[in-house]
Structure 1
Amino acid sequence: MILASIPSPPQGVWHVGPVPIRAYALCILLGVILAFLWTRRRYAARGGDADLTVDALLVAVPAGIIGGRAYHVLTDHQRYFGPGKNWVDIFKITNGGLGIWGAITLGTLAVWVLFRVKRVPLAPFADAAAPAIVVAQAIGRLGNWFNQELYGGPSTSSWALEIYRRVDETGMPDPVRGHSTGEVLATVQPTFLYELLWNLAVAAVLVWAERRFRMGAGRVFMLYVAGYTLGRFFIELIRTDPATMVFGDIRINVVVAAVVFALAVLALIVTRGRDRRGETALR
């Protein structure tokens, strides 16, 4: 018997006149703002130029959106190409579909190019940004809660998530843009919440580890990658939403998480012994 459960929001999209206000977009925006402010403070504490954080934001955000969408389209190409599909839908990012792997990869690459052009070392900035990025990811997961998406299988635990029937103004089913009828369709594993809590734990570990071990030379960022992918690997195994399968019946994000985790751990091993010599101590 379910003693308690987590309710989903009654809706995830509101309209101010003809303008849709999407909770998912607001969560991402809030995460970006907080990540920017915290990174700016941390980078300045390391002796970096705080204004450079603004430049990084201006290149990282659009690159991250493009990279995230590109990853989604490539790994879920069957949704956009083939009989009955309209390839123009790849540009409709408001309909959902941003892959964190592509967002972080292209966003990081864009910032790397920026710092190369300005002839500023990237490692101190990457270390300063690492915990802020993973906190932003945690906040972004709240958007999945509003959208009733990315959850696991049926659950009767006390922390199960209620999935409501949502309909549009005509009464037709619309799980993302509709409003709840109050009917509970299922109670499921809240994998969005698992990842949110894991990301916050990773951020706490990063802040502790860099102070305890005086980590530098990009190693805080490497630890972030290793920590995030470790949790994502196991959380991905619980998720039941449609996904591209590889090697038979393995979700592609499980494979990506495993490979990136291994690379991050290898990078940490190869760079062990490097510290923050030459950097200003964190306040």
Structure 2
Amino acid sequence: MIIIYFLSTGLWNMDMSYDFTIMILKIVLIFMLIGLCCKLRKIDFNSIFDTMIVSIPSAFLGGRIYHVVMNIDKYKLNIIDMLNISKGGFDNIGMIIGIFIGSWLYTVYKKYSLLDFMDIIAPALVLGDMVFNILSLGFSVNILMLIILMFITKVAQKSGVVITIYLILIFIVNII
């Protein structure tokens, strides 16, 4: 927490947005939860870790691209601002799309099971949303989703069950 405080207050004369600080906190919490999910599913953490290391840059890239596309009026006059991330500008949906694309490419390359990977990261995706929704109504919905997904992670026998339940829950939450 002290490191996050120093990063957010601009130690070393750096202007740092809170978006970036929250992203770092989010990544640390996600890796801890993924480690727990790997133990519950008895899956090798190293293969999941390798895939996550590849997926993190693609998540940042996807989040930034999605943000720029959704706010194209702001960026169409100055192309350099598209690359300037010091003022924030990441989107969770774009990050999730980036994770899916990056992990799919890496699992195809390494011949890992994509469904096993998606089952492991589904609770982590909910945790990532919780970090941004801490002071809103969405926080309680995310806690409920996380509890459901952790239970299903523990009892699921087949690959793909957890990510399917995650997608169904996200669909239901977005409709309501």
Fold equivalence (TM over 0.5): yes
Unaligned residue ranges in structure 2 (runs of 5+)? 1-7
When the two chains are superposed, the root-mean-square deviation of aligned CA atoms in Å is 2.3
TM-score, normalised on structure 1? Answer: 0.54
1:198 aligns to 2:138 (yes or no):
no
| Offset at residue 215 of structure 1 (A) | 5.7
Q: Which residue of 1 aligns with 2:3?
A: none
Where does 1:19-34 land on structure 2 (aligned, <5 Å)?
A: 19-34=14-29
| Offset at residue 112 of structure 1 (A) | 1.6
Is 1:127–1:218's contact at 8 Å kept on the other side of the alignment? Answer: yes
Whole-Å separation in 2 of the counterparts to 1:58 and 1:107 = 10
- What secondary structure is seen at the aligned counterpart in 1 of 2:151? helix
TM-score, normalised on structure 2? Answer: 0.83
Out of 111, 116, 122, which is 2:103 matched to?
Answer: 111
**Residues 209 and 47 (structure 1 numbering): CA distance in 2 closer, same or farther, change over 3 Å?**
closer
Q: Which residue of 2 aligns with 1:228?
A: 170
Letter in 1 for 2:82: I
Structure having the higher helix fraction is: 2
Whole-Å separation in 1 of the counterparts to 2:148 and 2:65 = 31
Where does 1:50-61 land on structure 2 (aligned, <5 Å)?
A: 50-61=45-56
Unaligned residue ranges in structure 1 (runs of 5+)? 1-12, 143-191, 235-283
Whole-Å separation in 1 of the counterparts to 2:137 and 2:150 = 20
| Offset at residue 230 of structure 1 (A) | 3.1
Bigger-Rg structure (1/2): 1
1:156-198 deviation line (CA, Å, top 9, x unaligned): xxxxxxxxxxxxxxxxxxxxxxxxxxxxxxxxxxxx5122222
Whole-Å separation in 2 of the counterparts to 1:196 and 1:94 = 26
Where does 1:172-191 land on structure 2 (aligned, <5 Å)?
A: none
Whole-Å separation in 2 of the counterparts to 1:96 and 1:22 = 6
Letter in 2 for 1:224: Y
Whole-Å separation in 2 of the counterparts to 1:140 and 1:108 = 20
- Give the number of equivalent residue pairs: 170
| Offset at residue 23 of structure 1 (A) | 3.3
Structure having the higher strand fraction is: 1
Whole-Å separation in 1 of the counterparts to 2:12 and 2:94 = 34
What is the aligned-residue identity percentage? 21
Whole-Å separation in 2 of the counterparts to 1:233 and 1:206 = 19
**Residues 55 and 137 (structure 1 numbering): CA distance in 2 closer, same or farther, change over 3 Å?**
same
**Residues 122 and 132 (structure 1 numbering): CA distance in 2 closer, same or farther, change over 3 Å?**
same
Letter in 1 for 2:29: L
Where does 1:150-161 land on structure 2 (aligned, <5 Å)?
A: none
Q: Which residue of 2 aligns with 1:126?
A: 118
Whole-Å separation in 1 of the counterparts to 2:10 and 2:94 = 30
Is 1:131–1:207's contact at 8 Å kept on the other side of the alignment? Answer: yes
Is 1:60–1:107's contact at 8 Å kept on the other side of the alignment? Answer: yes
Whole-Å separation in 2 of the counterparts to 1:97 and 1:229 = 24
Letter in 2 for 1:113: L
1:183-223 deviation line (CA, Å, top 9, x unaligned): xxxxxxxxx512222222211111234456x3632121122
| Offset at residue 18 of structure 1 (A) | 0.7
Q: Which residue of 2 aligns with 1:95?
A: 87
